[in-house]
A and B are shown apart, each in its own frame.
Chain A
Amino acid sequence: MSDQIFQTRLENGLQVLLKEIHTAPIISHWVWYRVGSRYEIPGKTGISHWVEHMQFKGTPKFPAGILDRAISRDGGMWNAFTHLDWTTFFETMPADKIDLALDLEADRMINSVYDAEEVNSERTVVISEREGSENDPLFRLDEAVQSTAFTNHPYRNEVIGSISDLHSIQRNDLYQHYQRYYNPANAVIAVAGDFDTGGMLKKIERSYGCIHGQALPGLSNEREPSPENERRVNVTGPGETTYLQIAYRAPAAANHDFFPFSILDSLITGPTSLNMFGGGGISNKTSRLYRRLVEKEFAININGSLQATCDPFLYNIVITVHPKHNAEEVLQQVDEEIDNLFQSPVTQAEIDRAAKQARALFAYGSENITNQAFWLGYSEMFDQYSWFLNYVKELERVTASDLLRIAREYLQPGYRVVGIYHPDGGMQ
C-alpha cells in the first residue's frame, strides 16, 4: 500500500486521516469512536453495541429506513461494528455520492432520536443476536474463558453484553452513553479512495466542523493486576465435540513486544490476519501446533488469534479435540511445544517466513479500498497509523533472542486460562 496520507485535527478535536487512491471510482468513509466494551461498567455490559444498533434508528433529518434506502440506492455498502476498544461506522460509496455519507454520519453523531419504542424493539433484536451466538459452543467457552481471564478489566465481558444487562438497560442509559462518547473530540474520521485531499477536507470541515467537541478523560491502563496462577474453567453443553481454549495474556498493540509476539503467533498457530475486509487468510498446516496436534491426531483443528488492542488482551488458542483423546492429553502436548520455544532458538528463516506472510496478507488487503480506509482509523484506535506502516519492517527486525524473551515472559502457564467445553453427548 502507498504510504502517502494526510492527517489533521479540527478545532473541535476531530482527528482526520485521508488517503487518496485512484484505482476505482470508490470512496470509503469511516467514523471511529473510542468506545466499546472497554468503557463499560458492571450492570451496563453490551451498552456500546446496543448504542451502535440504535444509531441506525434515525434522526429527525434522516428518519429510520431513509438511511438504508439512501445508501443502498446509490450502490453503497455500509455497516457498523463494536469491539473491545472502539465502535465504528462506515460507508463505501461511488465517489460522486460520498457527500451523503458525510452528511448522515455528522448528523447522527449528535441528532439520533433514541425513541423508547425503538429501544424496546431493538432490545429483542440484540437478545436474538446473543441467542444466535449462544448456539455455538465456542461462544459459550470463549465467554467463560474471557470472564475468568480478567478480574477487574471490562475486557472480561463479551462485547454483546450479559443477558441480564440486556434486559435491564433502559432508554436513558443508552442515550447518556451516546451523548458522552459520540462527540468529535472522541472520534476519528478516516477516508480513502478517489478524491482530492483538499476538496475532501473542505467537505469534512463543512459537515463536522460545527459540532461541539468535548475531550474525555483517558482510562487508566493499570486496572488489571498481572495474572499469577493458571486458572481453569469448564463449560458443559450440547454436542459430541470437546473444545480446548488456552488464553494467554498478550501485550497491548502499542507495546513493542506486540511485534515479536506476532511472530510467535505465526510460528505457533499460523499468522493471524488483521484485515477486516478482503484478503482471506493463510492456512496454518505448517505451524508448530498443527504439526504436533493435528498431524499426530490429538486434535481435529487448531486456531490461534492475536488482536491489536489498547490494553493487554488475550492470545487465544482454540483446539477441536480429536475424539481419540481428552483435553488434558492435548494440553500436555501444547505445553511440550511451548516448552520447545523456551529451550531452542527460532531460526532466522522462520522469522523471515513470518514477515513474508505478513507482507502477503497486507498485499491482499490492499486490493480493497474499504480495507485501506479501515486501517487508517483502526490503527489510531490503539496507536497511530505509523504502527501499520511500520508493521512489516518491525517484524523483519525481530531476532531469535527477542522471541525467546517474549515466549518466556508471556507464555508461562501462570499467565493463562485453560477452558474446556465438555459435550454432554447431544442431550441436556
Chain B
Amino acid sequence: MKNTLLSPHSLPGPEDIHRKVLQNGITVLTRSNYSSASVVISGYVAAGSQLDPLDKLGLAFYTALGLMRGTKRADFQTIYDRLESAGASLGFGASVHNTSFGGRALAEDLPLLLSTLSDSLRYPTFPKPHMERLKAQLLTGLAIRAQDTGDMAALEFDRLLFPGHPYGRPEDGYVETISVIDRNDIVKFHDTYYSPTNMVIVVVGAVEAQQVFDLVESNLGDWQPHSTPPITELTVVQPPVETIRREVIIPGKSQSDIVLGTLGPKRGAPEYLAASLGNSILGQFGMMGRIGDSVREKAGLAYYASTSLNAWIENGSWEVSAGVNPENVEKAINLIKNELRRFTSEPVTMEELEDNQSNYIGRMPLSLESNNGVANSILNLERFSLGLDYLQRYPDMIRNITPQDILQAAQKYIDPDRLIIVSAGSNHSSTSST
C-alpha cells in the first residue's frame, strides 16, 4: 500500500501548528491557511452537562445558549447586528465535558469574532425576558425531539447503556428539568464553572500565528481564573450483562429507527484505532460497510444502516443505526446481529483491511482541506492529548493495524448476546418486551 501524495510534512504538525498557553490557563492553537479570505475559531471551556444537577438536566446547555442573549457591553440585537452585518457567525453548545463554541468570519473580522467570544464568555447578563424566551424555544425543541424517531431511539439507548452516568443523560434535558431552571440557576452555574483554566481555543485561516496570539491575549488574557469545585468522579460503567430490548412508541410514524450496540473504547484506549478501522469495515466503508451491504444493498430494507464508534474521555459507545419500515424492524435487527457475530468471531480479510487502511490514509487531505476540518482536528489533538505530531504519525499507526488487532478490539467490546437494542416508531412489532 502506498500513497505518493502523503508526505508527513504536508500534514498539519509541530512545524505549522502554533501553540501557546496564556498565563490564565487558556491554551491557544493556530494554523495559517491563506487559500481563502476566511477564518474559523473553535474551542471549549470545561463546563459541560456532567455538572448538571439531576433535577436540572439541561442547565449547562441552557446556560451556553444564553451567553449571547446580552452582555454588559452589548444587548442581543447589537451582538447579532455586528456579527451578521459582517457575514460572521458564532454559536455555543454543551456536551458532557465541555461548553463548546465555534465561529467563522472573513479574516478581516477576526477581532470582532474574538471580542464577541470574550464578552459572551465573561460578561453575559442573561436578561430575564430573553431567558424566558429561550426556555420556550428549548421546550419546543424537546417537543420536536419527542416526535423524532432517531432522536428518541438514541436517547433511550444512551440511558440504558450508561445508567447513572452523565453519558446516559441528554445534554438538552427533559421537559420537567428545563421547566424548573430559573435565571438564578444559570447565573450561579456561569459564575461557578466558567473559567479560563482548561479553556482551549483554535484559530485557523488567513491570519498569522502571532496576530492570533496577540488578539486572544488582548481579548481573553486578563480573564482571571478562579477555583472551581472539583468534578465528582464518574461512576464506572459496566457493559450490559444481557440483551435489553426496548420499543419507544411514537404513533403515526412511517419509519422506525433502530439504535443497537454496546460500550466502545474511550478515545485514549490503546485499541481505539483498531476499533475505529474495524468499525469502518463493519458499517462505514463504501456504502456503509458490511451492515450497509447486508441491510440496504442485499435485503433492500433501509435507506441507511451504518455504524458509529463514539469515543469520549471516560468511555465510548459502539452503535449501529438503521431506519426501516416498522414491519421490518426485527428482520433488520437479526441481519445486524448476524454481522456482529461474524465480526466478533473471525478476523477481517486482508483485502478488507487494506481497503480501509488505504481509505483512512487517503482521505486525510480531503478531511483537512477546509479551515473547519483543520480546526476540529487540532482541537481533538489537544482535547485527547494526542500530540501535535499525531496527524503525521497517523498513517503509520493505521498501516500497523492487523486483522488480529481488530478482532481483539471487537471481542473486547461487542458481545452479540449482550446488547442494548432500541427501536422507536409506530407499534408494528409483535415481539415488544419492555
Binding site for B on A (CB under 8 A): 23-26, 56, 64-65, 68-69, 71-77, 92, 94-97, 120-132, 134-135, 137, 237-241, 270-271, 278, 280-286, 291, 294-295, 297, 300-301, 320, 322-324, 353, 356-361, 363-364, 366-369, 424, 426-428
Contact = CB atoms under 8 A, between A and B. Distances in A.
20 contacts: A25-B10, A71-B286, A73-B355, A75-B362, A75-B366, A238-B147, A240-B143, A241-B143, A270-B84, A271-B87, A282-B84, A294-B133, A297-B133, A300-B136, A320-B140, A323-B139, A363-B36, A363-B37, A364-B104, A367-B371
B269 interface: no
Contacts of B279: none
Q: Which 5 A-B pairs have the closest CB atoms?
A: A75-B362, A360-B87, A68-B286, A121-B300, A428-B252
A410 to B, nearest CB: 23
Contacts of A281: 89
B315 interface: no
Nearest to A349: B85
Contacts of B298: 121
Interface of B: 3-5, 10, 33, 35-38, 76-77, 80-81, 83-89, 91, 104-106, 133, 136-137, 139-141, 143-144, 146-149, 250-255, 285-287, 293, 296-304, 323-325, 354-355, 358-366, 369-372, 425
Among A294, A323, A364, the one with the most B-chain Cβ atoms within 10 Å of its Cβ is: A364
B369 A300 contact: no
Given A73-B362, A367-B372, 13 more contacts: A65-B297, A73-B359, A75-B366, A120-B300, A122-B300, A128-B325, A240-B147, A282-B89, A283-B84, A285-B80, A286-B81, A367-B36, A426-B251
Contacts of B85: 286, 353, 356-357
Judged by DSSP, the binding face of A is: mixed
B245 to A, nearest CB: 21
B173 to A, nearest CB: 17
A131 B287 contact: no
A125 B36 contact: no
B106 A286 contact: no
Q: Which of B33, B89, B370, B372 has the most CB of A within 10 A?
A: B370
B62 to A, nearest CB: 15
B285 A128 contact: no
B366 A92 contact: yes
Contacts of B370: 278, 367-368
Given A64-B297, A241-B144, A73 B358 contact: yes
A293 to B, nearest CB: 12
A159 B306 CA distance: 24
A72 B286 contact: yes
A280 B89 contact: yes
A366 B84 contact: no
Contact of B36 (A25, A94, A240, A366): A366
Contact of B87 (A96, A131, A294, A357): A357
Contact of A128 (B87, B251, B303): B303
A74 B366 contact: no
